[in-house]
Amino acid sequence: MNKQIVLLPGDGIGTEVIKSAQEVLIAVAEEFGHQFSFETHDIGGSAVDKHGTPLPEATVEACKQADAVLLGAVGGPKWDELPSHLRPERGLLGIRKALNLFANLRPVKGFPKLLHASPLKEEVVKGSDLLIVRELIGGLYFGQPSERRDNGETVVDTLSYTKKEIEQVVDKAFQSAQLRRKQLTSVDKANVLESSKLWREVVEEKKTAYPDVSVEHLLVDAAAMKLITNPGQFDVIVTENMFGDILSDEASVLTGSLGMLPSASLREDGVGLYEPVHGSAPDIAGKGVANPLAMILSSALMLRHSFHLENEAELIESAVQSILNEGYYTADLQVKDGQQVGTKEMTRLIVELIKSQNTTKSIQNCYA
């Protein structure tokens, strides 16, 4: 398979962890006989420094031509005082919009070796493995311009969705559930909001097209509670933009580290932007200690969702789990026993496992 991948390292540890993902993808391509070509472009604060804008036109054009985009992270104190149109995160919002990325997927998995680092009890997080599908470019964050009235004493924000906007993200969630344990939980506030009533109607209409997927509806307040009392009950959760924003951050504590969380933002035709959930971590940038696993797991999501290379994606995910099971960890993970390694060493271990003749054996072991 020939694929063109645009790399957007961005700022801080973004530039370090994106190299790790590239090395892992090169190893996967060699093992499976694929051709991945890479083109690097600027975004965020480094793009402001070089081009005077956080999102140069050349970056947008390259991403539009690409089969998929990998992004490190943007931002840092150096650019905090800039006017809002020059802020690094403008680059991120701009590229999501330019590519029309309507669905954001965030898998959250409790890795056995890391369960102790979660603020929740180990027995609660054990076995949790869920995917949140969040609508990304509609709803409250993209309503009519917010307004202040009555000398600032009254405010108005609007929450609007078209049926088509709901349908496309609900379809993506059903398709994602088909690739997993085939359970979909649709989260809304249908006892209060008209937009949620339409959301629920769409899910009910769509479910006949996916008879192998079981569906339940949950109000967002109950979902927030169940996510931390019994996360193991969930497979795929689909919800609108703001509920998804809040629930996916809540779910992120299950794994115990920001450095382990990948994400995917997708368009209808499968083109996607893949990035770790964490930011540019200016406090550790340049020290060689960043955890590259969220970025590496994001590249696995790219293989699965944009290129439909399920075996290749699983190989990366299993290699990550194996390396953790073998006791290797980066500084952020607070593993009690084992060997602490830096970004480059962690990447080398994953690459070697992928290339190793013993990969299949190691992977089987990790599920034993």
- Positions marked catalytic: 141, 189, 221, 245, 249
User: Min. distance of Cβ 218 from ligand NAD in angstroms?
Assistant: 27
- Kind of pairing between the strands at 68-73 and 147-149: unpaired
DSSP label at 70? E
Question: DSSP readout, 329-357?
Answer: E-GGG--SSSEE--HHHHHHHHHHHHHST
User: Min. distance of Cβ 348 from ligand NAD in angstroms?
Assistant: 17
Angle in degrees, CA 199, 200, 201, rounded to 5 = 90
- Kind of pairing between the strands at 2-10 and 154-156: unpaired
User: Min. distance of Cβ 223 from ligand NAD in angstroms?
Assistant: 23
Instruction: Please report whether residue 297 would count as binding ligand NAD according to CB under 6 A.
Output: no
Interacting stretch for ligand NAD, rule CB under 6 A, among 148-156, 173-181, 279-287, 296-304? 279-287
Among 108, 290, 323, 349, contact with ligand NAD (rule: CB under 6 A):
290
User: Min. distance of Cβ 275 from ligand NAD in angstroms?
Assistant: 6
User: Min. distance of Cβ 139 from ligand NAD in angstroms?
Assistant: 19
| Look-up of token digits 């969630």 | 173
Q: Which of residues 2-31 bind ligand NAD (CB under 6 A)?
A: 13
Instruction: Please report whether residue 320 would count as binding ligand NAD according to CB under 6 A.
Output: no
For residue 265, the Cα-to-chain-centroid distance in whole angstroms is 7
Nearest of 242, 136, 135 to residue 189 by alpha carbon = 242
Q: Which of 13, 202 has the CB closer to ligand NAD? A: 13
- And the tokens for 69? 């985009």
Instruction: Please report whether residue 104 would count as binding ligand NAD according to CB under 6 A.
Output: no
Q: Report the alpha-carbon distance of residue 41 to residue 319 in Å, rounded.
A: 28
Instruction: Please report whether residue 139 would count as binding ligand NAD according to CB under 6 A.
Output: no
Q: Report the alpha-carbon distance of residue 190 to residue 199 in Å, rounded.
A: 8
Contact between 243 and 187 under an 8 Å Cβ cutoff? The reply is yes
- And the tokens for 362? 């190691």
Q: Which of 109, 278 has the CB closer to ligand NAD? A: 278
Other CB atoms within 10 Å distance of the CB of residue 148: 10
Contact between 257 and 333 under an 8 Å Cβ cutoff? The reply is yes
The SS3 assignment for 129 reads strand
Among 133, 279, 306, 320, contact with ligand NAD (rule: CB under 6 A):
279
Among 46, 128, 239, 280, contact with ligand NAD (rule: CB under 6 A):
280
User: Which amino acid belongs to residue 196?
Assistant: S
Among 283, 361, 364, 365, contact with ligand NAD (rule: CB under 6 A):
283
Q: Which of 227, 297 has the CB closer to ligand NAD? A: 297
Q: Which of 80, 221 has the CB closer to ligand NAD? A: 80
Instruction: Please report whether residue 342 would count as binding ligand NAD according to CB under 6 A.
Output: no
Buried b (16+ CB within 10 A) or exposed e, 31-65: eeebebeeeebbbbbbbbeeeebbbbeebbebbee
- Kind of pairing between the strands at 147-149 and 154-156: antiparallel
User: Min. distance of Cβ 122 from ligand NAD in angstroms?
Assistant: 22
Instruction: Please report whether residue 249 would count as binding ligand NAD according to CB under 6 A.
Output: no
Instruction: Please report whether residue 259 would count as binding ligand NAD according to CB under 6 A.
Output: yes
Q: Report the alpha-carbon distance of residue 201 to residue 199 in Å, rounded.
A: 6
Instruction: Please report whether residue 258 would count as binding ligand NAD according to CB under 6 A.
Output: yes
Among 169, 170, 227, 284, contact with ligand NAD (rule: CB under 6 A):
284
Taking CB under 6 A as the rule, which mask of x and - marks residues 322-341 in contact with ligand NAD?
----------x---------
Instruction: Please report whether residue 138 would count as binding ligand NAD according to CB under 6 A.
Output: no
Instruction: Please report whether residue 92 would count as binding ligand NAD according to CB under 6 A.
Output: yes
Instruction: Please report whether residue 75 would count as binding ligand NAD according to CB under 6 A.
Output: yes
Residues that bind ligand NAD (CB under 6 A): 13, 73-76, 89, 92, 258-259, 275, 278-284, 290-291, 294, 332
